[in-house]
Amino acid sequence: MKGMNETIRTQLEHRTIREFKDQGIPEEVFDLLMEVARRTASSTAMQASSIIRVTDPSIKAEIAGICKQEYVARIPELLIFIVDQYRNSQIAKEKGHSPDYAGDTDRFFSSFTDACLMAQNVVTAAESLGLGTIYLGSILNDTEKMCQLLKLPELTFPVLGLGLGYPNQSPQLKPRMEMRLRVFENAYTFFDSYLDEIKDHDEEMRTYYDLREPEKPVDSFSDQVVSRLKYQNIKRQELLKVARKQGFDLKV
């Protein structure tokens, strides 16, 4: 492909890794990844996101329980990316000012976005170094417990987890639908029949081999959509409630 380089080649080969070799990441490699995180773009340069590095096996086990995925307890390097308006609110207080708007909706979502950008930047760097990665949105299964477990102060909130390590498996590249269904010009594009548009993707998904359940055929994408939309995680319906408890004034 024209314009291809090693970074893009690595990104196009992205796979979720759930099993890692029993070896840690060298500290100098970790420090390099944290420097990448530090240099990530940040809304108005406020740097209002932080990372919790989880090294305590008992805390990892608790997080694995929240995620409902036992392998999380065995991930060599586990990072939790968080919204962090606490630090800047304290800076303002020490300067003699009341941080009245530190917990408003705008700052919550700008910090949330900052955390996501930082995680993606770390993933790109980590995979370029031969590491495997896994995003853990499942830490949001019980955000209140995550806040308690990580001793998160007011004006902070967990966003997502990231597992890093040397891969001990080689999953099949997961199919994706065509970008013409996801990239539009100037305005949203509507289709007469979405099932017709994704029929090739439905068929391709049936050929995917999921290492988590190798004995079970993978459902078509459209069937997965139906299955997902029929299920509601009750705890996740309380995200805004927990965010407000953490001091964020989110308007409804």
Domain containing 82 equals 6-171
Q: Is residue 219 part of a domain?
A: no
> Model pTM?
0.94
Q: So what's the pLDDT on residue 247?
A: 96
Which residues, including other chains, have CB under 8 Å from residue 233's CB and lie 6 or more apart? 141
Q: If we measure between CA atoms, which residue out of 96, 98, 117 comes closest to residue 46?
A: 117
Q: Is residue 49 part of a domain?
A: yes
Q: Is residue 213 part of a domain?
A: no
Q: Is residue 117 part of a domain?
A: yes
Q: So what's the pLDDT on residue 234?
A: 84
- Axis crossing angle, helix 105-128 with helix 27-38, rounded to the nearest 10: 140
Which amino acid belongs to residue 123?
Answer: V
Q: What is the pLDDT of residues 113-149, one digit of tens each?
A: 999 999 999 999 999 999 999 999 999 999 999 999 9
**Which strand ranges, in their side-by-side order, compose the sheet holding 49-54?**
49-54, 77-84, 156-165, 132-136
Q: So what's the pLDDT on residue 208?
A: 85
Positions in the chain whose pLDDT score sits under 50: none
Q: Is residue 33 part of a domain?
A: yes
CATH of the domain at 138: 3.40.109.10
Q: So what's the pLDDT on residue 2?
A: 82
**Tally of domains within the chain:** 1
Which residues, including other chains, have CB under 8 Å from residue 113's CB and lie 6 or more apart? 43
Q: Is residue 230 part of a domain?
A: no
Q: Is residue 139 part of a domain?
A: yes
Q: Is residue 53 part of a domain?
A: yes
Q: So what's the pLDDT on residue 236?
A: 86
Q: So what's the pLDDT on residue 252?
A: 66
